[in-house]
Amino acid sequence: MSESRLRLPLLSLAARNTRRNTRRTLLTMSAILVAVAAVTFSFGYINGIVDDFLDSMTKVQTGHVRITHSEFPARERFLPMHLNVQHISELLPVIRSHPTVVEAMPRIKTAVLIDNGLDNKPAMLLGADLEREIGYLDIISMVSEGRAPQAGETGMLIGYLLAEELEVSVGDTLTLLGQTAYRSLGGIRAPITGLTSTGIDPLDRMTIFMPLDQAQYMTDLEDSTTEILVFLEDFELSREIAGSLQEELDPLVIGGVAAVSWLDQSEIAQMWEMADSIYGAIMFIFLLMAGLIIVNTMIMTVIERTQEFGMLRAMGMNNRSIMMLIIDEGLIIGLIGAVIGGLVGSGFAIWLEKTGLNMAKAVEGMDWPISSVMYPDWRLSHLIIGIAVGVLTAGIATLLPARRAIRMNPAEALRE
C-alpha cells in the first residue's frame, strides 16, 4: 500500500486510540493546553508592558531623538543648567522642518527644593509648552483637580501623591528653589493651579509641571532649554535621523549639540532588545514542562500496548508506520490542546486589554516611568505562534516513545 493511501487509515486509527484511555489523554492534552495558554497570554502581556514602557520613556525622558548641549550627557546626573541649548526660537523651526520629524518639544528639567512654609522636600521641575505637549506627554489631560496654568501665568501643577506628602491642595502657594544658568540659586513663588494623576509613580510622587516660559524665568534660561525631544514618523530610523540632526544643528549652537537616539539612551534600548529573549525564555520553560509530561504519558502508553505493537509488527506493519501512528496520536492530542489553550490565553489577554491589570503596588517607588495599570497587547500572531509551537512540541515529545515502540522484538512483545 502506498504511503498516501496508508496515511488516512493511520490517522483514523490514531484518533480512535486517543479515546482508549480518556484520563491519560486529558492529562496529556491539559499539559499542552496550559502551556499554550500561558505562552499566548504572556506574549500579549509582555508586549503590552514593553509598548507601555517604550511609550512612556519616549514621551517622558528620551523622545525618539534627544538634543542637548554636547557636554550635557556626560554630566546629566547633576542636571547642569549652564550646559543648555540656546536660541531655541531659531533652532525649533529648523528641526520641525526636517521631513521625518513630526514634532520637537523644548523642555527644562531641573532639580528643585519645595518649601511649603513648614517643611521642604526635593522634587523635579519640568517646564514645557503644555498646550503643544497635547498628544505627547499631554500634561493637560492628566489634570485630576483644578486646571493647568497657561503660558505667561505664574502657576504650577503638582502630582497628587506629592501634594499629599506636602499636605497642600489647589490654591496653596509653594516656593521653588533651584540652580540657574549662571550657577547661582534662583527661585519662584507660585500658586498650585491643579493636581495631576498620570498613573506613573515618579511623575505623581516627585514632579512639578510649569509653563516653559515660567521655568525659563526661574532658571535664567531666556530663549534656551536643557533639552529638545524630537518625535519621528518612524522611530526605528532614530539613529539615522539623530546623525542627520547632529550635523545640521552642531554649527548653529555655541558649544555644539548632542543628538542621541532613544536606542542609545539609558536602559530603554536594553528593554527593547531583551523583549525577544524574554519571549523565547517563557516559551521554552512552559513547552519544556509540557513536553516532559507528554513524553512520560506516551511512554506509559507504549509500555501498556506492547502486545498490540507486537501484533501489528507480526501482521506486517513496518517500523515507519508504527512510528507515525504514535506521532499522529501525539499530534492530534497536541492540536486539540493547543487550539483550546490558545483560545483561552487569547481570551484572557483580550479581556485584560479592556479592563487592564492594576500593578500599582508592583511599580510603586520605581524610577522608570511605567504605568500602574498594564494592558496586554494581544495580536493574532501570538495565537498562531502559540498553536504552532504547541503542536510541534507534542510531535517532538512523541519521538522518544515512538522510537521505543519500533525497537521492540515482535515475538518478545507478543509474549509480554
Band of pLDDT at residue 1, cut at 50, 70 and 90: very low
Band of pLDDT at residue 275, cut at 50, 70 and 90: low
Measure Cα distances from 163 to 197, 242, 325, 334 in Å. Answer: 11, 38, 69, 55
Per the listing, cell 526660537 goes with 89
Number of alpha carbons in the 13 Å side-chain half-sphere of residue 40? 31
Rounded average pLDDT over 279-300: 74
| pLDDT at position 392 over 50 | yes
| pLDDT at position 132 over 70 | yes
Band of pLDDT at residue 305, cut at 50, 70 and 90: low
The candidate with the shortest Cα–Cα distance to 185, out of 219, 223, 222, is: 219
Q: Tell whether 264 is covered by a domain.
A: no
Residue 289 sits in the same domain as residue 239? no
Q: Tell whether 100 is covered by a domain.
A: yes
Whole-angstrom distance, CA of residue 161 vs CA of residue 198: 10
Rounded average pLDDT over 24-53: 82
| pLDDT at position 345 over 70 | yes
* Listed residues 216, 231, 255: the one ending a domain: 255
Q: Tell whether 64 is covered by a domain.
A: no
Whole-angstrom distance, CA of residue 24 vs CA of residue 144: 56
Q: Tell whether 261 is covered by a domain.
A: no
Instruction: Say if strands 156-159 and 185-196 run parallel, antiparallel, or are unpaired.
Output: parallel
- What is the number of domains present in the chain? 2
**pTM, full prediction:** 0.69
Q: What is the pLDDT of residue 334?
A: 84
pLDDT-wise least confident of 15-24, 368-377, 389-398 = 368-377
User: Domain containing 386: what range?
Assistant: 3-57+269-415
Q: Tell whether 167 is covered by a domain.
A: yes
The H or E element spanning position 341 is helix 319-355
Q: Tell whether 62 is covered by a domain.
A: no
User: For the chain, what percent of residues have pLDDT higher than 70?
Assistant: 83
Grid cell, residue 34, equals: 496550559
The candidate with the shortest Cα–Cα distance to 42, out of 399, 385, 306, is: 385
Whole-angstrom distance, CA of residue 282 vs CA of residue 274: 12
How confident is the prediction for the chain on average, in pLDDT? 82
Residue 75 sits in the same domain as residue 46? no
Q: What is the pLDDT of residue 413?
A: 47
| pLDDT at position 262 over 80 | yes
Measure Cα distances from 45 to 38, 166, 403 in Å. Answer: 10, 36, 38
Whole-angstrom distance, CA of residue 318 vs CA of residue 32: 29
Residue 367 sits in the same domain as residue 280? yes
Say which amino acid occupies 129.
D
Q: What is the pLDDT of residue 231?
A: 95
Residue 238 sits in the same domain as residue 366? no
* Listed residues 191, 220, 255: the one ending a domain: 255
| pLDDT at position 369 over 80 | no
Each residue of 134-168: pLDDT tens digit?
888 888 888 999 999 998 899 999 999 999 999 99
Residue 332 sits in the same domain as residue 231? no
Q: Tell whether 66 is covered by a domain.
A: no
Residue 98 sits in the same domain as residue 235? yes
Q: Within 10 Å of residue 169's Cβ, how many Cβ atoms?
A: 14
Residue 48 sits in the same domain as residue 111? no
User: For the chain, what percent of residues have pLDDT higher than 90?
Assistant: 35
Residue 184 sits in the same domain as residue 299? no
Residue 341 sits in the same domain as residue 213? no
Whole-angstrom distance, CA of residue 230 vs CA of residue 251: 18
Residue 318 sits in the same domain as residue 346? yes
**Where are the alpha helices (H) located in 201-318, listed in sequence order?**
201-206, 212-219, 238-249, 268-304, 306-314
* Listed residues 255, 283, 313: the one ending a domain: 255
Q: What is the pLDDT of residue 353?
A: 83
Give the residue with greater pLDDT, 24 vs 342: 342
Phi-psi region of 109 (alpha: psi -120 to 50; beta: other; left: phi over 0): beta
Q: Tell whether 176 is covered by a domain.
A: yes
Residue 112 sits in the same domain as residue 157? yes
Grid cell, residue 406, equals: 519500533
Residue 64, C-beta contacts closer than 8 angstroms, at least 6 positions apart: 58, 229, 230, 231, 232, 235, 238, 241, 261, 262
Whole-angstrom distance, CA of residue 75 vs CA of residue 82: 11
Residue 133 sits in the same domain as residue 28? no
